[in-house]
Chains A and B, each alone.
Chain A
């Protein structure tokens, strides 16, 4: 029980206790400074050199004062113990720790050498260094205050009768604090912190130790290896609307969240609204839709199942024979066909002999496509202009010496077609123009013909050729130059042509099924956007715009985050719509634990999802934007952790008990 001296202290001013605490702090600061100067080491180490007479005197003086101090403390031990366990002391100590902690937050902590001087100047830095304010929470004086706190708590605890329920809250609260500090001390002395730098494929066993988040350079070897199998970064997709400012800056007007996809949302400052769909793994492909434009070619969606594989494609019919759908030893071709042409069986020759290269011409804007031959003259549909095809070069390059186009090889690496327009030259003669199959639009001048060159490479002979006549819906199979099988579908119904291998009569009989899924007399291309998977491999959005007074879609755009140019589009009113996939949502390391050369455990480590193995915890802590094969793990061993948690639970329960249970209990006499 508290003695009479303690009773007296209860009412004594708390302020009187502060000088003692300040004195303690000063002594500890001096002690740590002396330690850093090497003084204490010099006193206690036999090998130390340069131990002077002055040092010896100082040591003796210190020893005597310590002895005297100890005597004084012993004489008034009862008063001291009572004071340490008293409430006023608790108040003084708690406020002192609060002030000390606050000081630690006003000065940047654990800076690399030299940074403190740039922060506050040399003079202030010297004092901060002497007072250890730049490492407050690791300093001896801060630790000393904590030690006094523990001492005070222990003294307060032992003076109470713990068997009385009335005091349980007190014990839990105060004891919990002691337990937390004990756990922290255990963790600091018996635990370890380190970093493990992993590269994809590597197995690492060595951990670089760290202190206060900085590497010490020391290394430690684990009993097992850690292998980084894969590392992935997931980001947040978002559609941002910016307004361009005069000073070339852009200000954010609105963010469209992925959750908003599918709903019309107004575009601020305009009369338009937009709607978008999000595709985590976007693929934009061309499909066909029916067209009212009579110049558009016919097209059909055809499915071919042959040799165990199925493929489905849009075939466009054309004078060139149109597109081909190939599978195993069957090719499929589409024509629209008119009754006269149907009697022509020359196409069946493809099953006997190879097809030479062919040249197609598309008129930009007029949507017409026709086949051309070298030496012939053609009229551009819908115009009075005509042109002659002069030359074909399979692998074009420009010969500077001879000042003319030439071919590097016979391979069609860069097919080019030279055409000339009679009477269009500056001198009244023909004007020449190169068309490149791989670079549409290249070399087009203001007056040049708006033509696009489509190159159809030579094709070897095909064993079986199915020709679909779109208009009559005849599916005809030719093999070895002859018609083998024919099926006419009823108008408007999709159907199949089954090709039994034997009926085909070819060398390697294989059954195949050709299905005419859809057919349009006039078809125009439309873009079909879809996602290949639900994994965010290539995120993109398809955006539609409409005017506020109209229901029809006025315009559309596809924005793909990975494409620098294609991730944004300009809108009227100095607006820019940008699809961004930058902000990190998660980063994960897929690792394997290796013991004796075997993978014994596979795990994914992410922030908030560490891996525990062999007494260590592995945390996702570092990654590099520029090297996604790298992952930095933090390795921690903390034997004091459960003690700390137990202490926290004790303190929490203690507080609740003191506040809400104790008032209902009868205070013991």
Chain B
């Protein structure tokens, strides 16, 4: 592949990325399995998972740095921001997933998120590896704008937040199958919420209020909601930036273009979810399922636009 590609990174770079996120996934999963064994067994002396979890987190941070270098070198090579094609965004998405995960793990000690971030990033890179850009993709006039980088990066941070939320929702639904009270309490103790200050994190000791700890899987559900908050805030900003950009490029802040519409639909879907959680009866498992459904809208907005009849000619559609 090397040398035959247009804008694509050489396969070696991608393989290394796949290896990095693969290591995050494997080590992270091992850590989680060990944690689960320790917690379900009720053995407080087993602490090996703590080290493994921190190792996985360290690997994630390293993979994040590598990913940033990968994008940076591509930026230099192309002489333009590498956020134009599907392939290029498949390199940006893992970076944002890693970023949001690092923030959430640091703030809320959501260790189980690490392998999920690894899996998500891995999926992107494997897909990218299968679909390299053969042709040198150039920037059409409309994309040559100061809004390009902030708009796209904000959106991918949003998508990353929503992916993380999706992953946490899956995890919460998975844990909700454990019926024993002991398991719930034990799991909850490792998932301290609401957020701790940075100083409290240093101690490595959870100071979870007992009332919250007893409510498993709600703490995870709340963690999923925290990720939605990041994602939704970024969606809102991205939408507003897109409108301002559209105005300067085409003269209209809103053109009812399919991608715009689906960005709006995604925004409405998460807005519905956020309002739904205000109704007590909808918190918990129901909200988690709605969260999963909303992420389907994100994926359709990201990858499904070419399926729509009005998509041809849209600058938003990855060809």
Contact = CB atoms under 8 A, between A and B. Distances in A.
Is this pair of chains taken from one and the same complex? yes
A60 B141 CA distance: 58
B199 interface: no
B143 to A, nearest CB: 9
A236 interface: yes
B248 A608 contact: yes
B292 interface: no
Given A608-B142, A610-B251, A652-B240, A91 B233 contact: no
A238 B138 CA distance: 10
Nearest to A233: B141
A224 interface: no
B6 to A, nearest CB: 5
B261 A94 contact: no
A418 interface: no
B79 to A, nearest CB: 5
A652 B236 contact: yes
Contact of A655 (B5, B78, B232, B249): B232
B4 interface: yes
Nearest to B236: A655
Interface in A8-37: 10-11, 14
Interface string A156-193: 00000000000000000000000000001000000001
Contact of A95 (B141, B258, B272): B272
Contacts of A253: 4
B253 A252 contact: no
A621 B279 contact: no
A101 B279 contact: no
Nearest to A663: B194
Contact of A606 (B134, B141, B310): B141
B210 interface: no
A495 interface: no
Nearest to A93: B272
Nearest to A97: B268
Contacts, number: 137
A636 B251 contact: yes
A11 B3 contact: no
B44 interface: no
Given A119-B309, A254-B3, A648-B243, A90 B275 contact: yes
Nearest to A13: B281
B271 interface: yes
Contact of A608 (B5, B6, B144, B272): B144
B158 to A, nearest CB: 12
Contacts of A651: 236, 240
A410 to B, nearest CB: 56
A446 to B, nearest CB: 43
Interface in A630-648: 634, 636, 641, 644-645, 648
A257 B79 contact: yes
Interface string A441-459: 0000000000000000000
Interface in A226-254: 236, 238, 252-254
Contacts of B237: 652
A229 B256 CA distance: 34
Interface in A613-669: 617, 619-621, 634, 636, 641, 644-645, 648-649, 651-652, 655-656, 659-660
Nearest to B234: A655
Contacts of B138: 236, 238, 583, 585
Contacts of B279: 10-11, 87-88, 91
A106 interface: yes
Contacts of B140: 584
Contacts of B144: 585-586, 607-608
B141 A252 contact: no
Contacts of B139: 585
A619 B145 CA distance: 14
A379 to B, nearest CB: 54
Contacts of A255: 6-7, 135-136
Contacts of B240: 648-649, 651-652
B250 A94 contact: no
Contacts of B3: 254, 266, 268
For this complex, into which size category does the number of interface residues on chain A fall? 35 or more
B278 interface: yes
B93 to A, nearest CB: 22
Contact of B6 (A95, A102, A254, A610): A254
Contacts of B254: 184
A655 B229 CA distance: 9
A119 B144 CA distance: 34
Nearest to A607: B141
Nearest to B147: A608
A193 B256 CA distance: 16
Q: Which secondary structure dominates where chain B touches chain A?
A: helix
B83 interface: no
A44 B193 CA distance: 64
A101 B301 CA distance: 13
B264 A101 contact: yes
Interface string B256-275: 10100110110011011001
B262 A105 contact: yes
Contact of A259 (B79, B142, B244): B79
A385 B3 CA distance: 53
Interface in B58-86: 77-79
Contacts of A617: 251
A10 B276 CA distance: 10
B308 interface: yes
B252 interface: yes
B253 to A, nearest CB: 6
Contacts of A109: 256, 310
Given A608-B142, A659-B233, A102 B250 contact: no
A608 B79 contact: no
A666 to B, nearest CB: 15
A98 B253 contact: no
A95 B77 CA distance: 44
A587 interface: yes
B46 interface: no
Contacts of A327: none
Given A607-B144, A619-B251, A656 B233 contact: yes
A376 to B, nearest CB: 60
Interface string B221-249: 00000000100110011011001100111
A515 to B, nearest CB: 42
A137 interface: yes
Contacts of A645: 244
A606 B77 CA distance: 26
A208 interface: no
A114 to B, nearest CB: 16
B44 to A, nearest CB: 32
Contact of B141 (A104, A268, A587, A644): A587
Contact of B4 (A102, A238, A254): A254
A283 B201 CA distance: 67
Contacts of A11: 279-281
A69 interface: no
B234 to A, nearest CB: 10
A108 interface: yes
The 9 A-B pairs at the shortest CB distance, nearest first, are namely A255-B136, A607-B141, A98-B268, A619-B251, A648-B240, A636-B251, A94-B272, A659-B229, A608-B145
12 contacts: A98-B268, A101-B261, A101-B264, A105-B265, A105-B308, A106-B308, A106-B309, A193-B251, A259-B77, A619-B249, A619-B250, A645-B244
Given A101-B268, A585-B141, A619-B249, 13 more contacts: A98-B265, A98-B272, A108-B310, A253-B4, A254-B4, A254-B6, A255-B7, A608-B141, A610-B248, A641-B253, A645-B244, A648-B239, A659-B233
